[in-house]
Amino acid sequence: MLDGKYWIVGRLGTGGMGTVYDGWNLAIGRRVAIKLLHPDQALTHDAIERFEQEAQAAARIGHPNVVDVLDMGRDRDGARYMVMERLEGECLFDRLVEAGPLPTADAVAIVVQVLSGLEAAHEVGIIHRDLKPENVFLATTARSRDVVKILDFGVAKFPAKRIDGRCPSDGEVVGTPVYMSPEQASGGPVDGRTDLYAAGVLLYELLSTRLPFEGDGPKLLTAIATRDPVPIDRVAPWLPPEIASVVARAMAPDPAARFQTAGEFIEALSPFLDQEASQERSVGLGAAPIGRRSTREVPTLVATTAILPAKGRRRRLAWVMATALALAAGTAALVGAQARTDPPAVAPAVPRVPIVAPSRPGASQSCVVPAKPGVAEAGGPR
């Protein structure tokens, strides 16, 4: 029993800053997810502030595409907790691992919902700063599936008064390196266009399973801050040039050349929402399979980690290898069958699927790298 109000049913996940539990609100009989801050983290002011900030951000935004935080408090033993809506479904990273590249219309539908939630956040002056597949949940409700919920505002930037011509957060490198914008990677001032850049990286990855930059640690940050991203039509040549152009604008190194608002980005994507992904089908991609449903709540945790190789990437590489082997076996069987029969008037085309080995070093953790020595914080995966 927690605080005399919540019954703990089971554990959903554990991270560096806390544990998320499956629970019930006894007063109203509602199933909820309860996040408890680890006792050692509760001893640090910064961890407590980040924990409370996550709840305050969700409450201030109040949007269907942002996870709803229902309550926050301390139990009799002093443990700090946060109560969130209980979600059914899977996180976007798991969908990518299982489905591979998504058809254009499916990827756009997801990103448009992400942008809708970001638009609401930006309207109240909140910048997420850590948008990535692990922080996007695809919820299944009684009425629909793949309802996007943005998670984890633990490193979000809130409106702040300027001191001596600068904001207190200026100079920090905060977020997950591979999804950072150039200004974010270099520790410069950030605004809503930083989140729009990350949404562009998200769309890039959904369409190609690749990322625009490779590397890890300081070298990755330097590359993002000083180089142009690899154009998506180079790693996914099957995509229509129109969608490649939208991705390129979203990820323009100069913030002034990007979409200036989430609404503007949504407008550019709207023509692709109802279009059939005919180009992908023509090269054998077809419709992406529906990912395995899971009743696991994705914990919106922040872990204290260094920049380490991402966990779970072996699964995606295994998917690529399995797909390649299956295609090779299918092609061999087809050739053998044709050799035993009279050749048809028109030889059937063998589906060709672009197979690319994903490379996402440093993509599953968040980091907070202070500009000045002596102060160090880190945040990480759920």
Q: Confirm whether 130 is a catalytic residue.
A: yes
Q: Which of 10-24, 113-127, 318-332, 353-367 has the largest mean confidence?
A: 113-127
What would the two tokens of residue 54 be? 């996550």
Taking each helix axis as running N to C, give the angle between helix 313-339 and helix 92-99, from 0 to 180 degrees, rounded to the nearest 10: 20
- pLDDT in the model for residue 173: 72
Q: What is the mean pLDDT of residues 131-158?
A: 91
Give me the residue spans of the domains in the chain: 6-85, 89-310+358-369
Q: Which of 7-21, 171-185, 245-259, 323-337 has the largest mean confidence?
A: 245-259
Q: What is the spatial distance between Cα 132 and Cα 178, in angstroms, rounded to a whole number? A: 9
Quote the distance between the C-alpha of residue 332 and its chain's center.
38
89-310+358-369 and 6-85 share a CATH fold: no
What would the two tokens of residue 381 be? 């995966």
* More confidently predicted of 343 and 172: 172
Contacts of 273 (CB under 8 A, 6+ apart): 105, 108, 109, 112
Q: Does domain 89-310+358-369 have CATH number 1.10.240.10?
A: no
Q: Out of 25-29, 164-168, 204-208, pick the least confident.
A: 164-168
Q: What is the spatial distance between Cα 111 and Cα 299, in angstroms, rounded to a whole number? A: 21
Any idea of the CA torsion for 60, 251, 278, 133, to the nearest 10 degrees?
A: -50
What would the two tokens of residue 117 be? 């939630």
Q: What is the pTM of this model?
A: 0.71
Q: Does domain 6-85 have CATH number 3.30.30.10?
A: no
- Helices marked H in the chain: 45-61, 92-99, 104-123, 182-185, 192-208, 217-226, 232-235, 241-250, 262-269, 278-282, 313-339
- pLDDT, one tens digit per residue, over 255-309 is 999 999 999 999 999 999 865 443 433 333 333 333 332 323 333 323 222 222 3
Q: What is the spatial distance between Cα 381 and Cα 311, in angstroms, rounded to a whole number? A: 10
Q: Which of 130, 146, 152, 195 is catalytic?
A: 130
- Identify which of 133, 227, 138, 238 has the alpha carbon closest to the alpha carbon of residue 182: 227
- Identify which of 198, 205, 199, 178 has the alpha carbon closest to the alpha carbon of residue 102: 205
